Amino acid sequence: MLDKKNTVFLIVQDNEDARPIIEAVEQDNPDANIQYQPGMVRMEGAGQLVVNRETVEEQIGREWDVQELHLVLVSLAGNVDEDEDKFELSWH
Amino acid sequence: MPAKKLNLRKRYELLTRGMGWETTHQDMDDVFPYDSFEGIKITDWDKWEDPFRLTMDAYWKFQAEKEKKLYAVIDSFAQNNGQTNLSDASYLSAIKLFITGVTPLEYGAHRGFAHLGRHFRGDGARIACQMQAIDELRHAQTQIHTISHYNKHFNGLHDPFHQFDRVWYLSVPKSFVEDAMTAGPFEFITSISFAFEYVLTNMLFVPFMSGAAYNGDMATVTFGFSAQSDESRHMTLGLEIIKFMLEQHEDNLPIVQRWMDKHFWRAYRLLALVSAMQDYMLTNSPLSWKEAWDVYFVENGGALFEDLSRYGLKMPKYHELATAEAEHLSHQVWSVFCLLGNATGFHTFLPTEEKMDWLSEKYPNTFDKYYRPRFEHWAKQKEEGTFQYLAALPQLCQVCQIPMIFTEVETDPMQLSFRVSEYKGDKYNTCSDGCKDIFDHEPEKYAQAWLPVHQIFQGNSGGATIPEVLEWYKFAPEDGGDYIGSQDHARWQEWKGADDKVKQA
Ligand SMILES: [Fe+2]
Ligand SMILES: [Fe+2]
Ligand SMILES: [Zn+2]
């Protein structure tokens, strides 16, 4: 059970383009709570959640630009920290 | 050897730093006349940073890709007669309220951000606002393009912008966005990007789009999610601007807190319409308003404000009341639409047995006790042919412009909530302490509000009878009233066959 006081979340569309991102989140955030809802997938983390470029690239076998996340993003909560290698959400 | 690609941070810096300059022919305060009168003190605009570090080339590339995907879906939806896969044609009432109430709001946001994209002194903030201005225009356009397919088959979708400026319930979103647009740039961005987009917009788009998916409306899901991907960027901008203002100067805190309190309440009142969409207008609802409120406001909003407490920012005033109202809101709003269903641009319908059971389950403390009896009573009247629409025009709240339907949920849920202020010898009515506080702080602004009911009584709305007013709204006689027996209903039966397959019958 997550402490709801510091939950960050990332919601993406439930489609093919988002699948490797969801799998990368599952792999790199073992405690994340992942909920499939109509049309979308909601991924919650306690205080922090990260999408790593390398993990997504392993899934898809090609280069992946972190900003491609924009194409499937539905919503998020948390302070955003993005660079070439990762997209990270956190509450301080 | 190809030149090494600049990293994200560097590319963003090149775009947003040093593009502006200290003007010498004209005073900087004349070039940027609007960004200081609100009292917000900015000492270093360069501290502003967009965490997505989106550059123009990346922006156009990703937006183009989103558009391509969206229009492919819209085309195939039209070619395959996607409208026949809806759960029920009564569901379209939600889409009618959306195109008339939300799409013009997107356009208003576009205008507001275009203004900020010119008038903020910092280049980074200007660029973020310019991108958002383009996004919001895209949202209005894609919604019109998507929904125009439904306009070929169903009534009530023909003139949203004309109606937005006139119709009694559409003055709720109109007054909200115009309140923000007529404020200064910092208040505008606090209102739209933070109070509306960050704190509350999840309640509009996420459960509603998920609801569209649940009701077979793939066209709406697609434009909704396409817009949401921009929205995530807007939300992030909203949070950044709040942190930026609070970090720049301690004097900014009380100003930001007051705006937060005001626009939280304004946006929350606007979402009362969404609560009715979610609980009553969607044939099948994936999530009740109360569940959405608990997840997106109580939990996620709670975490947000916990994070912001390090700057001294507190939860918005009256948020406890909004949470207490969550068990009543949609029932009260849908009731008033059913009672005034002869003056709406969409069809109204009483909840089916199945829907009422779902509502009892989702609202165990309130639905059976307060609201089921009234819907059953009206159903009985309809059966007997004695049901009558309200003959009188409702009194409106001077601030949120919603009819005075809200009640004292914390003490007596059957007692109307009613507040009065006096200003220059006149009385002004408001629906709640939240709206009264807003009025009392700027009475000179809200005393001028264009209240649709007052305008009708003053003879400014096409005439003194309901048909004359509806004509002035450009509502056709077949647009409103009961769904059962409407042209939309008949068309649906033509496609779907026997009545027993129809949810609303
Ligand atoms: Fe928008
Ligand atoms: Fe937006
Ligand atoms: Zn009000």
pLDDT in tens, B211-227: 888 889 988 888 888 88
Q: What is the ipTM score, two decimals?
A: 0.88
Mark yes or no for CB contact B65/A81 under 8 Å.
no
Q: Which of B9, B225, B307 sits opposite A83 (nearest CB)?
A: B9
Is residue A68 in a domain? yes
Which residue type is seen at B175? S
Confidence (pLDDT) at B68: 93
What pLDDT band is residue A43 in, cutting at 50, 70 and 90?
very high
Residue B384 in this model has a pLDDT that exceeds 50: yes
C-beta of residue B359 within 8 angstroms of C-beta of residue B365:
no
Q: How far is A11 from chain B (nearest CA, A)?
A: 9
Calculate how far, in angstroms, residue B269's C-alpha sits from the geometric centre of ligand 3: 7
- Mean pLDDT over the full length of chain B: 92
Q: Is A70 on the interface with B (CB under 8 A)?
A: yes
Q: Is A33 on the interface with B (CB under 8 A)?
A: no
Confidence (pLDDT) at B276: 95
Q: How far is CA B245 from the centre of its chain?
A: 25
Q: How far is CA B219 from the centre of its chain?
A: 19
pLDDT in tens, B70-114: 999 999 999 999 999 999 999 999 999 999 999 999 999 999 999
Mean pLDDT is lowest, of A27-36, A65-74, B199-208, B261-270, for B199-208
pLDDT in tens, A44-69: 999 999 999 999 999 999 999 999 99
pLDDT, mean of residues B363-388: 97
Is residue A28 in a domain? yes
pLDDT, mean of residues B254-267: 97
Q: Which of A39, A72, A73 sits opposite B210 (nearest CB)?
A: A39
Confidence (pLDDT) at A27: 97
What pLDDT band is residue B12 in, cutting at 50, 70 and 90?
confident
Confidence (pLDDT) at B2: 56
Domains of chain B and any CATH numbers: 8-23+50-496 (1.10.620.20)
Q: Is B309 on the interface with A (CB under 8 A)?
A: no
Is residue A23 in a domain? yes
Q: Is A4 on the interface with B (CB under 8 A)?
A: yes
Mark yes or no for CB contact A76/B235 under 8 Å.
yes
Is residue A2 in a domain? no
Q: Is A1 on the interface with B (CB under 8 A)?
A: no
Task: State how far the Cα of B100 lies from the Cα of B24, in Å rounded to an integer.
Answer: 46
Q: Which ligand lies nearest to the CA atom of residue B108 in the structure?
A: 1
Residue B207 in this model has a pLDDT that exceeds 80: no
Calculate how far, in angstroms, residue B125's C-alpha sits from the geometric centre of ligand 1: 18
Q: How far is A2 from chain B (nearest CA, A)?
A: 11
Residue at token pair 């379209």: B92
Confidence (pLDDT) at B501: 45
Number of separate domains in chain A: 1
Q: How far is B299 from chain A (nearest CA, A)?
A: 6
Q: B210 or B254: which carries more pLDDT confidence?
A: B254
Calculate how far, in angstroms, residue B270's C-alpha sits from the geometric centre of ligand 2: 16
Kindly identify which residue of chain A lies nearest to residue B10, measuring between CA atoms.
A83
Calculate how far, in angstroms, residue B438's C-alpha sits from the geometric centre of ligand 3: 9
Contacts of A75 in chain B (CB under 8 A): 202, 205-206, 228, 231-232, 235
Domain around A11: 7-90
Task: State how far the Cα of B371 lies from the Cα of B348, in Å rounded to an integer.
Answer: 16
pLDDT in tens, B444-501: 999 999 999 999 999 999 998 999 999 999 999 999 999 999 999 999 999 988 654 4
Contacts of B128 by beta carbon, 8 Å cutoff, 6+ apart: B50, B237
Confidence (pLDDT) at A3: 55
Q: Is B9 on the interface with A (CB under 8 A)?
A: yes
Tokens of A63: 């280069």
Q: How far is B428 from chain A (nearest CA, A)?
A: 38
Is residue A52 in a domain? yes
C-beta of residue B263 within 8 angstroms of C-beta of residue B191:
yes
Task: State how far the Cα of B120 lies from the Cα of B35, in Å rounded to an integer.
Answer: 6
Rounded alpha-carbon distances, angstroms, from residue B142 to A2, A64, B61, B128: 37, 28, 17, 21
Query: Which pTM was predicted?
Result: 0.93
Q: What is the CATH number of the domain that holds A12?
A: 3.90.56.10
What whole-number percentage of chain A has pLDDT above 70? Answer: 96
